[in-house]
Every structure is written in structure tokens, then in C-alpha cells.
Amino acid sequence: MLRGQADIRHPRRVRYLRRIDQVAQLSEEERRRLRPVCERYAFRANDYYLNLINWADPKDPIRRLVIPSEDELEEWGKLDVSHEADYTVAPGVQHKYPHTVLILATMTCAAYCRYCFRKRLFMPDSEETAVDFSEGIEYIARHPEVQNVLLSGGDPLVLSTGRLEALIARLRAIDHVGVIRIGSKVPSFNPLRLLDDRALFTMFARYSTPRKRIYLMSHFTHPRELTTPAIEVVHRLLRAGVIIANQTPLLAGINDDPDVLGELWLRLSEIGATPYYLFVNRPTAGNAPFRVPLTRGYQLFQESLTRVSGLGRRLRYTMSHATGKVEIIGVDDHRIYIRYHRAAKPENAGRFLAFHRDDQAYWLDDLVPVKEIDARRGNGRAHRLARG
Ligand code: SF4
């Protein structure tokens, strides 16, 4: 049982570690072997999060999430799988779907997930994040179709509250922007940073209004991240009027277990962080150790749902593909069925597609289509097939 493992002692001041040599729990030999990995893909951790690791277990999921492994050096995937560069309209500003603009507000996180899909941002010559937000704000102001803005990165909650407030205040001044979303793993990686900052919650209460809410897209990946301070952060965010929805990538060796996932959905529902997306982890360079085939992922997802009641079952198993947000809605003996949940091209909106089943496929590009079925032409039969 995973419950109760979260209540451990935490340091009062969180110390950041930027070099693998600073991780005292690793042997000198381990640190030596991991140096080349950290030279290719940046390492960052903090002692709050390292404290969650069971160091006696070499396969500990929290360890796997943040401590590099040599398997990352396997040649696999690309740095920008979802072609985010194609949708970049200004430095650090992406406009892929008509109603949504994404701002990469920073190139830092409170720690670095080894499976990160934007690890290119942490590389020395990256210039993809917005240093000055003015260009993005002006772009959004000129585009009245933009209803919601997603702040991401990196992690916007590593910005100072003053800087974050300046950005949110300018977005709130644009009449057509309703929802502001903030994607953050700080509630998992370093909730103490948030609990120490009363001004942050005051700021959220000011700008998350009854008519226009701020959403915090949390990134809890494993039930052991739901520590007492993390739960307190969720509580204070909710009290400040922030709505919380959780996004979790499916990761081999971390949460690819229906009991772990079911426990996560249950506990997130209990604390008010709605399970929203279970993401197919992108085939990003360095992510080979975390890959889960689509068919196995779908089976794990379905099995995890049997552990929870209605509120825990609202999430979708989805991938952020270059062409849109694609939901995997069914797998049978011969086929895999997907539907575009969001589409970059309007003609793909809601499109339903069937592919030959391939148990070694990890991404949409690996699949071979059977035929396309347009969901908008009354294909109730196709939906029944997909469900089962
Ligand atoms: S919090 Fe997000 S952006 Fe930061 S390292 Fe993890 S996956 Fe990447």
C-alpha cells in the first residue's frame, strides 16, 4: 500500500543541486558513470525531492524520475518531437490551436524530470523561452480568438511572484483572455517554495476571479509525491480560487502499474486536483528508458480506471502530437482507434482514425492507418466499435 509513505521529515530550507557530484547518496563510482549523461541532458534536483527517494532501492520510482541513468544515452527519439518550433510566432510564444496561446515563461524548473519532453530548453544554446513577455502579450492582444493562455516552460512557478504577477496582470487586462493556465511541477518538486510565499496565494486570489479563473495544471506523477506539504499547497491554491487539473505522463519504471496509477487518480480526486490527462510520454531524445508501447499504455490506463469511481475517471489517455492532441480511445485484437481531441488544422477537428494494431508502436507516426472515418458524418457505429 502506498498511502502514508508521504509523511517524512523535510528540510526547512530547500537546497538546489546542479551537479551530480553534489548527490551524496550516490557512490563515487555512480557519479563518475553518470557524468556523461549530465553533460548531454542537464541535471537539477533539490534536497526536498531527493528526500522522497528510498535510496536502498535502485529501482525506486522517485529516484528514476530525477536521477540520471546511462540508458538515456541510447539513441532514440528527437529533441522536438511535437514540432513546437513550427508553431512559434514570437520568442517563447506558440500558437497551435486557434483559441490557445502557449508562453514558455522560463527555462528553469525546480528539478529536471529525466523524461522531460522539453529538455532542449535546458541546453546551453537554447533561446526558445520568452525573456521579455511584451511581444507575446501584444500578439495575444491582436488576436481576439485567443480565449486562454497557457504559461509553461520550464516552470512558471520558479519565477518570482512579482515577475509572475506582472505577466498575469497584463494578460488579465486583455478582455478576450478568459482562462489563464499555469503548468507546474513545483507542487511536486518543491512545495515548500510555495508555502513560504504568502504573496503568491494573495496574487492568485486577486487574479483568479469568479468570472475568469486561473487553472494550475499540476504534474503529480506518482502517489509518493503527494506529501503533506504538497497537499497543503493544493489546499491553499483551491482556497485562493485556483482550479487544479493534473497531467501525468505514463512512464516505464515510474508509474506503469495500474495499482500506482489507480492510487494516484484516487488521491488526486480526494484532494481536489482533478485527473485530467494521462499523457503518452513523447519519444524525446534521452527518453528511451521510459517508453511504454501504446497498446500496453491503453491497457494500463483502462485497468487503472477500475480502481476508482466516477470523479477519478474523467481523464483521457492522450498524446501531444505535432498535428494535435490525439486521444487513444480504443484497442481491440486488430486495431487501435484514436480521435483528435484538439487539432492544429481545422479539418482534423474531431477526426476519428483506425490503425492496424502494433504492440511495438510508441507514437502516432509508428502506426499504419486502416482507413479514416470522419466523426462528423454520423459514425455512431465507429464509436461503438472503438469502445468495444
Ligand atoms: S517540470 Fe516539465 S518542463 Fe520541467 S523538467 Fe519536468 S517535464 Fe520538463
Question: CB under 8 Å to 2, separation ≥6 — which residues?
Answer: 223, 224, 259, 260, 263
Q: For ligand 1, say whether the CB of 118 is within 6 Å of any of its atoms.
A: yes
**Is 181 a member of any domain?**
no
Kindly give the distance from the C-alpha atom of residue 171 to the centroid of ligand 1, in angstroms, as a whole number: 23
Q: How many domains does one find in the chain? A: 2
C-alpha cell at 30: 555512480
**Is 348 a member of any domain?**
yes
**Is 134 a member of any domain?**
no
Q: Tell me which residue has its CA closest to atom 5 in ligand 1.
A: 112
Q: What is the pTM of this model?
A: 0.91
Q: For ligand 1, say whether the CB of 225 is within 6 Å of any of its atoms.
A: no
Question: CB under 8 Å to 250, separation ≥6 — which residues?
Answer: 256, 261, 278, 279, 280, 281, 292, 297, 300, 301, 317
Q: What is the domain range of residue 51?
A: 16-72
- Sign, CA dihedral 50-51-57-60, equals negative
Q: Which residue has the higher pLDDT, 378 or 48?
A: 48
Q: Which domain-ending residue is among 72, 91, 111?
A: 72
Per-residue pLDDT, 33: 97
**Is 168 a member of any domain?**
no
C-alpha cell at 263: 492510487
Q: What CA–CA distance (Å, rounded) separates 242 from 246? A: 13
Q: For ligand 1, say whether the CB of 362 is within 6 Å of any of its atoms.
A: no
Mean pLDDT of 256-281: 96
CA distances from 368 to 84, 279, 352 (A): 24, 21, 14
Whether residue 124 is predicted with pLDDT greater than 90 in this model: the reply is: no
Q: Which residue has the higher pLDDT, 382 or 156?
A: 156
Q: pLDDT for 208-247, tens place per residue?
A: 999 999 999 999 999 999 999 999 999 999 999 999 999 9
**Is 42 a member of any domain?**
yes
**Is 222 a member of any domain?**
no
Q: Categorize the per-residue pLDDT at 130 as very low, low, confident or very high, splitting at 50, 70 and 90.
A: low
Give the nearest ligand 1 atom to 153 CA: 3
Q: Which domain-ending residue is among 44, 72, 100?
A: 72
Three-state secondary-structure class, residue 382: helix
**Is 368 a member of any domain?**
yes
Q: pLDDT for 81-115, tens place per residue?
A: 888 888 999 888 999 999 999 999 998 999 999 99
Comparing CA positions, the residue from 5, 42, 6, 4 lying closest to residue 229 is: 6
Q: Which domain-ending residue is among 72, 102, 137?
A: 72
**Is 383 a member of any domain?**
yes
Q: Categorize the per-residue pLDDT at 2 as very low, low, confident or very high, splitting at 50, 70 and 90.
A: very low
